[in-house]
């Protein structure tokens, strides 16, 4: 393989830049040229392509977001859009494509593979941690750390006013950000799309903690279940305490990536190039039990995310 393409697609995630850097540097070190596609599949359709050299990725690992920028591209859902994307790949003589993104982006890669025989390798870049085949997605660790810092700030002021703090976090249909943030911040309850919740039980738990001398309560709500605002409104009917709801929003998607995401990005990027370099495509890469693994893209996108019941039970065991 002489020339590969690289794009980031869907919601950006901290660590994407570390993966970009790893793909570019390891490809060049293996004698492969790299073309970066700006704005994801939209840029591929519109021929927004740049040649990348070693220096084009210098100093980017510490930066959140993606230097290639990204987009959610509806045109890729149409055959016509995909044909335009492939025409751009052919124009530049790009033989293999690295796609950094979530499951929607992987579906695009899967179509390029199935319909046009383009070799693709997917790197899981999303804060949501919603892909079954990998233990962690790139950006999840940073997003959770951003959430726990924000929740820590909230807890300071909520404690001063003896309030109940309801915090909405992202994750689309997956509750992992909420669950991990809940454990890490000592939340009194976590409301997730994967588990039914009982508002009366949450209210009585808050009451118990108050009787034991706790003056602040934290409830984390995953956006896939409902909004924090909506939950706070419901909870108000059952608790006498002052409640404030905060939506962390896109703040959790930006910022300096953690060590875990920078190192994961580097490992995933290097493996992507190894695979394409040896003529292997139609794969996605992930991490399982701290080993970098790869699997068939079609199989990976058809897997349903399972909920980590053990971790959920851990949370239950450490709440009052
Ligand atoms: O998939 C990442 C994510 O941040 C989700 O957690 C969230 O639901 C969505 O993207 C928000 O998308 P947008 O930035 O397009 O509003």
Contacts of 3 (CB under 8 A, 6+ apart): 32, 33, 34, 35, 92, 93, 94, 95
Which CATH number applies to 143-254?
3.40.50.460
Chunk the chain into consecutive blocks of 10 residues (it has 320) and report each block's average pLDDT, rounded to whole numbers: 97 98 98 98 98 98 98 95 98 97 95 95 98 98 98 98 98 98 98 98 98 98 98 98 98 98 98 97 97 96 96 96
Residue 123's closest CA among 278, 282, 277, 265? 265
Domain ranges of the chain: 3-139+257-302, 143-254
CA 103 / ligand 1 centre spacing (Å)? 12
Please report the pLDDT score of residue 139 as a whole number.
98
CA 127 / ligand 1 centre spacing (Å)? 9
Q: Is 124 in the pocket of ligand 1 (CB under 6 A)?
A: no
Neighbours of 100 (CB within 10 A): 34
Please report the pLDDT score of residue 216 as a whole number.
98
Q: Is 128 in the pocket of ligand 1 (CB under 6 A)?
A: yes
Active site residues: 128
pTM for this predicted structure = 0.98
What phi and psi, each to the nearest 5 degrees, are found at residue 241? -90, 160
Atom nearest to 130 CA in ligand 1: 1
Please indicate whether the domains covering 3-139+257-302 and 143-254 agree at the CATH topology level.
yes
Q: Which CATH class is domain 3-139+257-302?
A: alpha beta
Please report the pLDDT score of residue 34 as a whole number.
98
Residue 269's closest CA among 34, 84, 72? 34
Please report the pLDDT score of residue 201 as a whole number.
97
């Amino acid at each position: 393989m002489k020339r590969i393409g690289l794009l980031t697609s869907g919601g950006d995630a901290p660590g994407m830049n570390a993966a970009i850097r790893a793909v570019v540097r390891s490809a060049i070190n293996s004698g492969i040229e790299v073309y970066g596609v700006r704005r994801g599949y939209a840029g591929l359709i519109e021929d927004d392509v740049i040649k990348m050299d070693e220096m084009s990725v210098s100093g980017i690992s510490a930066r959140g977001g993606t230097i290639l920028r990204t987009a959610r591209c509806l045109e890729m859902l149409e055959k016509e859009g995909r044909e335009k994307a492939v025409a751009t790949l052919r124009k530049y003589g790009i033989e293999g494509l690295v796609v950094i993104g979530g499951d929607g982006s992987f579906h695009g890669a899967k179509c390029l593979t199935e319909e046009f025989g383009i070799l693709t390798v997917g790197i899981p870049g999303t804060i949501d941690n919603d892909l079954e085949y990998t233990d962690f997605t790139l950006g999840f660790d940073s997003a959770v750390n951003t959430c726990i810092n924000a929740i820590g700030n909230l807890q300071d002021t909520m404690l001063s006013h003896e309030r109940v703090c309801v915090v909405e976090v992202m994750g689309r249909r997956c509750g992992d950000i909420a669950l991990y943030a809940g454990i890490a911040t000592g939340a009194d309850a976590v409301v997730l799309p994967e588990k039914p919740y009982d508002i009366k039980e949450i209210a009585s738990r808050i009451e118990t903690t108050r009787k034991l001398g706790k003056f602040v309560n934290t409830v984390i709500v995953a956006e896939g279940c409902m909004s924090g605002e909506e939950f706070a409104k419901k909870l108000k009917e059952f608790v006498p305490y002052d409640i404030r709801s905060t939506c962390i929003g896109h703040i959790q998607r930006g910022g300096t990536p953690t060590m875990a995401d920078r190192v994961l990005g580097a490992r995933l990027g290097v493996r992507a190039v190894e695979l394409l370099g040896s003529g292997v495509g139609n794969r996605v890469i992930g991490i399982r039990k701290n080993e970098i693994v790869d699997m068939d893209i079609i199989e990976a996108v058809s897997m349903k995310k399972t909920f980590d019941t053990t971790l959920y039970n851990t949370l239950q065991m450490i709440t009052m």
